[in-house]
Amino acid sequence: MMLASPTDARTAKAAGLQPSDAAPVRPGKIGIMLVNLGTPDGTGFKPMWRYLREFLSDPRVIELNKAIWYPILYGLVLTTRPKKSGANYARIWNREMNESPLRTFTRAQGQKLATALADLPDVVVDWAMRYGNPSTASVAQRLVDQGCDRILTFPLYPQYSATTTATANDQLFRALMKIRRAPAIRSVPPYYDEPVYIEALARSIEQHIATLDFVPEVVITSYHGIPKPYSDKGDPYQAHCLETTRLLRARLGWDEKKLITTFQSRFGAQEWLQPYTDVTVEKLAKDGIKSIAVVNPGFSVDCIETLDEIGREAAETFHHAGGRNFAHIPCLNDSAEGMAVVEALVRRELSGWV
């Protein structure tokens, strides 16, 4: 142990630094930041262009060299895709609040979590987007301004991927690089195999199927895809998705023919994780399957990929190929089951801080 010399003591005294005069250092508040993928601010060309530019410029999402990708992005994608994507968003837009359902549900999750954690007075709950608004940087600064010296970030992706969880965490640390007194950070890990999550999914599926006037012959767990080369390089996403389905199958008591796994939302020409959702839906109908349901375990809340791509496009594909009954099972959203998952994981990860 090092002891202060008399000279050090005299110097400190001359500077007016007396231990008895110092204000006690008290721990600050703890911020909880729910982070979802993101959303455009509107369905018009300009807000869609801004959103897509930020999203598709992320090197975690598109791993092509910028010299190759940017001419394609700015020369083709951003001149054609905003209009098409805007039309898709317009079909599901929350017109009452003038925002996308993803923003509506994520806000609701934040509000309900804050209510659930009312017994922890030093905890502040907020929510942010990786792309779009409210930005990760603005919410991080808001938490710091409220006195948070610790932040628990919760990327709302059950299955880990560098294209989702990692880039959400990247963005937070970029924001902290501009904050002089940066808070301590924890990140909620992937929860693809957490019993509370599997139970919530199973109950949601059972409850929704009970409302249908038909019994699905096949239920599809459709996850957002990633390019196959990303998986080949070591991204564990595919394994996490398959494990979620396996555990869900065991909980529901269904076999491998009743509950199957597919991947959706592929973009570009390269191979993505298979089997593809749209191809599978069409094949099931052509093979004589008349009734199916689709659930999206990889999405914490309903969004463009679930409400439009599955709820509309997949349904149309199935019906055109000869299928009769199609149901989209909603995401957990801010339901009681969904909030039980969020609260349980947050309370666990706060251990030692509260």
Domains defined along the chain, listed by start: 29-191+336-349 (3.40.50.1400), 195-329 (3.40.50.1400)
Query: Tell me, what's the pLDDT at 16?
Result: 53
Query: Tell me, what's the pLDDT at 4?
Result: 47
271 assigned ligand-binding residue: no
Task: Give tens-digit pLDDT for 16-43.
Answer: 545 555 555 567 999 999 999 999 999 9
Query: Tell me, what's the pLDDT at 24?
Result: 56
Quick check: 198 and 243 in contact, CB under 8 A? Answer: no
Query: Tell me, what's the pLDDT at 269?
Result: 86
- Say what the pTM is: 0.91
Both tokens of 57, joined, read: 């410029």
328 assigned ligand-binding residue: no
Q: Dump strand ranges (E) for the chain.
A: 29-39, 123-132, 148-155, 184-187, 218-224, 259-264, 291-295, 325-329
Pick out the chain residues at pLDDT < 70. Answer: 1-26
User: Helix, strand or coil for residue 169?
Assistant: helix
